[in-house]
Amino acid sequence: MKLRQRFLALLLALVPAPSLAANAFPIPGMPPPFSDPERCSPPLADILGTHRSLTSFSSFARLQTSTTALLADLTSNTTVLAPLNSAIERLPRKPWEDPREYEVLGAQAYDGSGGEHRANENLRKFVEAHLLTASPWYRNVRATTVAGKELWWEEKDGKRVIMPDRVEVEKVASQVANGEIWILTGVLKYA
């Protein structure tokens, strides 16, 4: 019996307590575990596509390397002002179309590799007009979009409204490690 007790005592002395295990014996080459639960949450890039009502905007954002990188970056905070699919569908033209390009180039404005490049640039401008370089974003605080436009929001009749475009916020859908996703009932001016 004494031998068994000695063995158990020796075993317990060699095995670290669970609360100390993560910090006492770090795995070489691995960063220490986060103690901040917010930092353990996924980035905006992983969350944006999970909102069914935002699939159009999410697809446009993923097509752009620069915006994908921004939304995945845990070192910078961003507020995504994502229009509902229905708001994008109500636009008089597709977000990749520019009436000035149709005036100059005609119906073939988006044909061929040149047309594809123009469409991609227009989509990039559309997405960047809906990404704020700040999060959290407080009422009446002016913030700049990635496209360079200054915006702020006010509360009117209990609803958040993005100014100066007067676009209503349906809700703040997600808050993650590197920002927030705000769902908009309309589209911000982007051209």
For residues 59 and 56, what is the distance between their CA atoms, to the nearest angstrom? 5
* pLDDT given for residue 29 in this prediction: 53
* pLDDT given for residue 174 in this prediction: 95
* pLDDT given for residue 41 in this prediction: 84
The domains of the chain are located at 41-184
- H-helix segments, the chain: 2-14, 18-24, 44-47, 55-63, 65-72, 85-89, 99-105, 112-128
Tokens 């929001």 correspond to what residue? 153
Q: Which two tokens stand for residue 134?
A: 């700040």
Q: Match domain 41-184 to its CATH number in 3.40.50.11540, 1.10.8.620, 3.30.1330.10, 2.30.180.10.
A: 2.30.180.10
Sign, CA torsion 135/137/143/144 = positive
Q: pLDDT (tens digit, 0 to 9) for every residue of the chain, 191 residues total?
A: 565 666 555 545 554 544 444 444 455 554 544 445 455 689 999 999 999 999 999 999 999 999 999 999 999 999 999 999 999 999 999 999 999 999 999 999 999 999 999 999 999 999 999 999 999 999 999 999 999 999 999 999 999 999 999 999 999 999 999 999 999 999 999 97
